[in-house]
Amino acid sequence: MSPHKLGFDRELYIKLQSEHIDARRQKIGGKLYLEMGGKLFDDLHASRVLPGFTPDNKIAMLERLKDELEIVVAINAKDLQRQKVRADLGIPYEEDLLRLVDVFRERGFLVNNIVMTQMDESNGIARAFKNRLERLGLKVARHRTIKGYPADTQHVVSKNGFGKNEYVHTTRDLILVTGPGPGSGKLATCLSQIYHDYRNGIPAGYAKFETFPIWNLPLDHPVNLAYEAATADLDDVNMIDPFHLAAYGVQAVSYNRDVEVFPLLAMLLQELAGESPYKSPTDMGVNLVGACISDDEVCREAAKQEIIRRYYKALVEERREEADPTVSERIALLMGKLGITKASREVVEPALEVARRTREPASAIQLADGQIVTGKTTALLGCSAAMLLNALKVLAGIDDEVQLLAPESIEPIQSLKTDHLGSRNPRLHTDEVLIALSVSANSDEYARRALDQLQNLRGCEVHTTTILGSVDEGIFRNLGVLVTSEPQYQVKSLYKKR
């Protein structure tokens, strides 16, 4: 079986990007605040739309600068109050912040400071989390909501604007500012720090390390449109950088928030340093991702698939929350621009066909060689569990007639679920199937061979005809399988167990 096609040169990226950041630091001099757009440690979106870009690409690149780098993590106090969850990991932002600090420290990075942005003392949840962070030995600076930000530059760049924010005392000259998600206040943190540094006689500058949109790809390139799909809930849009076009007569892709805030940044640097080194938002960036795309067609196709996955994700979330189809309609417009539909996802129709034939939930997976394997609902197995076993058989070259799990090994698990644990569904979930398969692997050669193939599911596409339960969702996420679901529940009821 052939591996998944690659479209991105990982090693070239690590080399070029680290060199470019170091060169920008040397050019600016003094402290350089590097705003990290997107995920730093586990950029799963980038790894999906740029096959070959690994989730740890950015952190591996920054390890070359580790001894000169300090990390500051920003978190929006309002996100804490809203109990915002990082969707790809299924954990709240406050837990993701702690996870990030642990990951950075395990890799030898210096991280001691947290900035709580848009902090209001009436926010009890944020106050409690601040106290928790301080008990854990972290330093927490409070940044306020500034009236008129970013448009009223005179007020923002004053003692009543950035001047009211608490200063973060850093010990190194290269400071990377990151956060658990979009809207964390990373840019405002950088600008506030520059304001305070100059007030303290410390020269400082700013640059942005934003993976998407990719400035030197066309505005309508699928990779850039996939970024719009990923941020559709924020109503972000890609756009031609008007400042870059005016300054150089060259088109470059940026996005609305960077364009909106650029006058503030230029004015801040002009006021504090005497001049701004940047004529456009594009100038601020240090992004060399576009230079490391090795196969444009592979990346185009991967990005189109990501947009369809985002569409299905939006449909499911809207169904769960009984919300208006705002986000899904925005993504549908992007699909229309590219001429793609739900049917462009090759696992959709096979899953739906099995569901029509059996009148029960069904699923389908596309393996790395393009082969599609389906799973149907039976008395013993849910469709996802059945599909998983069928796929492992194909990968291991095991005949379809072979039973990897004997009914007598499944029935005790079913009995435990229904007779003792209160479940009304006797069918096995994917986690229960994998446990049973692991136990069988000690004595059964077929089960051992099937289990050895789990690693080859990473990156495979899956579609289910009903909304997945949290258990199956978590298993597929851990296996690295890319799942979409129809926005339908298996059982029609008013109360949905999540």
Domains and their CATH numbers in the chain:
10-221+234-293 (3.10.630.10), 346-498 (3.40.140.40)
10 phi and psi angles, rounded to 5 deg: -65, -50
Report the mean per-residue pLDDT for the chain: 90
Percent of the chain with pLDDT over 90: 66
State pLDDT tens for residues 340-351: 999 999 999 999
How does residue 29 score in pLDDT terms, banded at 50, 70 and 90?
confident
Please provide the distance, in angstroms rounded to a whole number, between the alpha carbons at the two ends of the chain: 37
51 contacts 299 by C-beta, under 8 angstroms: yes
State pLDDT tens for residues 461-488: 999 999 998 889 999 999 999 999 999 9
DSSP notation for 140-179: EEE-PPPTTTTT-HHHHSSTTTGGGSPPP---SSEEEEE-
Strands 362-366 and 461-464: antiparallel
Residues with Cβ < 8 Å from 332, sequence gap 6 or more? 311
Q: Read off the tokens for 361.
A: 């939930």
Q: Read off the tokens for 230.
A: 């990923």
Q: Read off the tokens for 44.
A: 């799963």
pLDDT at site 359: 96
DSSP notation for 208-232: EEE-SS-TTS-TT-HHHHHHHHHTG
